[in-house]
Amino acid sequence: MTAWAAAPVLRVAEQVAGDLVTQVANEPFEIIWKHLGDAVQVELRQHVSHDSDPKGPTADVEEWGITFAGESRVHWARIALPGPPEPVLAEWSEETSRGPHWLGFLADASDLLAGTLDPGMVPAIIAQIVVPRLATWCAVYTIESASAPANLAYLWHSDESRNDDLRAMLTGFVVPRGISVAHLGDSQVVSVPLIARGRALGVMCLGRPDRFPDETVQFAEDISRRAALALDNARLYAEQAAARRALQRSLLPPSEPVVPGLDYGVIYEPAGEGNEVGGDFYDLFKAGDGSWRFAIGDVCGTGPEAAAVTGLARHTLRLLAREGYGVAAVLGRLNQAILEEGERARFLTLLHGEITPGESGLELRMVSAGHPEALRLRPSGVVEPVTTPQSLLGVFPEVVFEADTVHLDPDDVLLAVTDGVTERRSGGRLLDDEGGLGKMLAECAGLSARAVAERIRRGAADFAPEPSADDQAILVLRAER
């Protein structure tokens, strides 16, 4: 809970929460803290019913009980706050010098604002920083552009039950774009703009029943500068994340084709916070009459530079395949295209193949250019590699590729992954050490292609406790009966 008024009872509230949790069986539950103006209420909610008799917390509480909301059972306890908001305001205003009290408040506020990169959360943090230390209530407005109207993003009253009345009172309120003092209802209102890097991002409006001391207004201005910078950083981060997601979507196959006699499953997980653009990719598309192509590749590195090579590879594969080039010829021309990128070029491992449905399964012609070997799983559980290792792309200009021919009988499965799976590390071991991937695949006999892909993904995730630091792509092809 970030409401400043709850700080005096924080220790007691944590003890109460612990007491409630000790009465919970091994079933999901939710802890909620509510600020009620003159009290803090701790609730434990569960979507189950119990026959046992609940017990009150060991800490000193105002009251406790059990209520039901739909299918939820709520075990709650209420803790009285030391005093109403007005004394907090008065006590705060008594300190007129910028001493340790002010410095601590400002440091805590900066830490809270720096703790999120979600632009929707910043207004809520702003309001709960200033209430009730600087004001009885706060309304934060955001502005998208210089000509756009101000939108009410968040409001907070020290008495939570008055939030609806406050919202109604602010209806029709003309939000000033500069520092101003006005009266609204029974409150004096100080409005402070949120300006960062020369741009107006919003307005912070503070209200209290008495006059704002000059020192409090100065505090509000200090908070507004830090809040505006936090809001601007959050917006920039959100815009960059949206651009990365849009770029990633453009690098994924636009559709999932229907291939006669083929059941397939794919999983793609880029590494990095916010699903940043990765260097792994896959594709499955129709190349011509009666044939389809598939690909799974891994560009050296991550981020936009790797994504540029990913885009080059995917579009080159599709274009040349539809022009009638065989899989070996396609890789030879793609290798030359990557080398022509010069300093921007990145190494690329790639498994590229052609699928031709037949009466007794699927005929595959594949080239593995420096890629982890593809594995075939028989219905009996036997696993075997089916590709010949060849040079990766973007290194040697004169390399010549040759295609391997592989037949998939009905219920045979072909598994192809990137090295984010095979080189998943746990201590000093890699997942594929001593044929680890093949052993994992052998346990998937009889599963659908999607189930096989999910089993491999889960096995890679469980292999090490920490999140994967590399992109992962999994492609499974199964010949149907």
How big is the chain by its Cα radius of gyration, in Å? 31
What pLDDT score does 111 carry?
80
pLDDT of res. 279: 74
Instruction: Answer yes or no: pTM beyond 0.85.
Output: no
Query: Distance between CA 212 and CA 260 in Å, rounded?
Result: 75
Strand arrangement of the beta sheet that strand 180-184 belongs to = 151-157, 137-142, 199-208, 187-196, 180-184
Count CB neighbours of 369 within 10 A: 25
Predicted local distance difference test score (pLDDT) of residue 97: 46
Rounded to whole angstroms, the maximal C-alpha distance in the chain is 89
Is 478 in contact with 444 (CB distance < 8 Å)?
no
Residues 201-216 as b/e (b if ≥16 CB within 10 A, e otherwise) read: bbbbbbbbeeebeebb
pLDDT in tens for each of the 481 residues of the chain? 444 556 678 888 888 998 888 887 667 888 888 877 678 889 988 876 555 677 888 888 888 888 876 667 888 899 988 755 455 555 545 544 445 556 666 777 788 888 888 888 999 999 888 888 889 999 999 998 878 889 999 999 988 888 999 999 999 888 888 888 888 888 999 999 999 988 999 999 999 998 888 888 888 898 999 999 999 999 998 888 787 777 767 666 777 788 999 999 999 887 765 555 567 889 999 987 789 999 999 988 766 677 778 888 888 999 999 999 999 999 999 999 888 887 666 789 999 999 999 889 999 999 999 999 999 999 999 999 999 999 999 888 889 999 999 999 999 999 999 999 999 999 899 999 999 999 999 999 999 999 999 999 999 999 998 888 888 999 999 999 8
- 173 burial (CB, 10 Å; 0-12 / 13-18 / 19+) is middle
Look at residues 332, 341, 292 and name the one whose alpha carbon lies nearest to residue 312.
341
- How many Cα neighbours within 13 Å face the side chain of 245? 9
Nearest to 135 by CA among 199, 198, 85: 85
For β-strands 361-369 and 375-377, DSSP reports them as unpaired
DSSP E strand boundaries for 158-210: 180-184, 187-196, 199-208
* β-bridge pairing 429-430 and 413-417: unpaired
